[in-house]
Structure 1
């Protein structure tokens, strides 16, 4: 049961977006730029970063929602997303993405933990300054989103199909459309 009165049937951040539309717009814009805007990282790769951070923060709604969006956009689907969330080093992903996921995981723990060695490893694996910047910002933003969703005890569906349906809508229309309902 959410800590505040939210519209029934609206899980996670969707209920919070309906509750306070004036904050929903800039939050959805941020998510849209970070996860869907122009980038040399694919949309699926950026969603995977959000998923790994959310999983590390034990945010069921965000991990499930963004995991579904990543699964819909990555060739390896749900199996690849699960492999990366379980063990970055053993996941069937590029060395560059592994290095970026390690940076995101460090940022999730403490922003200062993303040290020169982690950044050098990412650069050595081919990551650009922009990719490193965006990885850090995605990780930081998802720490905020995770705490927003969990701090207000929002509802997280247990049925994976509900996330898959929403994922298709996000893939097709983006986060701004979802924030407007």
Structure 2
């Protein structure tokens, strides 16, 4: 049970969807950020960017975000869950490009602390073909997911078990985007 009364059925609105329904005026910019970072046109595929979100969420031990973004990545990567599982289990041996591995190393450093991103990590990413935009957005995805993870876990929200619980959310996010997929009601105007 969540730490505060979100006014919802937690099993119907698990993870971040409950707090977003509770406070739609903050949900809007959070969803807009996720939409830009994870779905907007980019040189990294949506699946690769979702993989970064899943990787950081797993390192943060945020069950809901890791499971949901693993599902979103798997649904958009040709290799599906096999690749997501390999990356999460052992980044060094996962069958990914040198560029994606270097970007995930940057994301892992951000997860610890922004100050753990070194010039060497950035140079390695550039040497593997990463652009400044890809490095920038990797850092921002990792930082944003540290925030999203702490939001979800800090409120003690419910996380369904099993991959099947996230399949429908993956379909909705891919089809409709973040704002529409979680069905957040419009914020009431302030009096």
With the length of structure 1 as denominator, give the TM-score of the two structures.
0.98
Q: Superposition pairs for residues 61-72 of structure 1, below 5 Å? A: 61-72=64-75
Q: How far apart, CA to CA, are the structure 1 residues paired with 2:153 and 2:45?
A: 28
Q: Which secondary structure does the structure 2 equivalent of 1:89 belong to?
A: coil
Matching residue of 1:114: 117
Q: How far apart, CA to CA, are the structure 2 residues paired with 1:157 and 1:31?
A: 21
What is the RMSD computed on CA atoms of the aligned residues? 0.8
Q: Which secondary structure does the structure 1 equivalent of 2:19 belong to?
A: helix
Larger Rg computed on CA atoms: 2
Q: Superposition pairs for residues 55-94 of structure 1, below 5 Å? A: 55-94=58-97
Q: How far apart, CA to CA, are the structure 1 residues paired with 2:5 and 2:82?
A: 36
- 5+ residue gaps, structure 1, are none
In the TM superposition, residue 43 of structure 1 has moved relative to its aligned partner by: 0.1
Q: Which secondary structure does the structure 1 equivalent of 2:92 belong to?
A: helix
Per residue, is there more helix in 1 or in 2?
A: 1
Q: How far apart, CA to CA, are the structure 1 residues paired with 2:41 and 2:80?
A: 22
In the TM superposition, residue 180 of structure 1 has moved relative to its aligned partner by: 3.1
Moved more, 171-180 or 69-78: 171-180
In the TM superposition, residue 159 of structure 1 has moved relative to its aligned partner by: 2.8
* 1:138 equivalenced with 2:147 (yes/no): no
Give the length in aligned residue pairs.
181
Moved more, 61-70 or 162-171: 162-171
In the TM superposition, residue 89 of structure 1 has moved relative to its aligned partner by: 1.1
In the TM superposition, residue 73 of structure 1 has moved relative to its aligned partner by: 0.2
With the length of structure 2 as denominator, give the TM-score of the two structures.
0.93
Where has structure 1 moved over 3 Å in runs of 4 or more? Answer: none
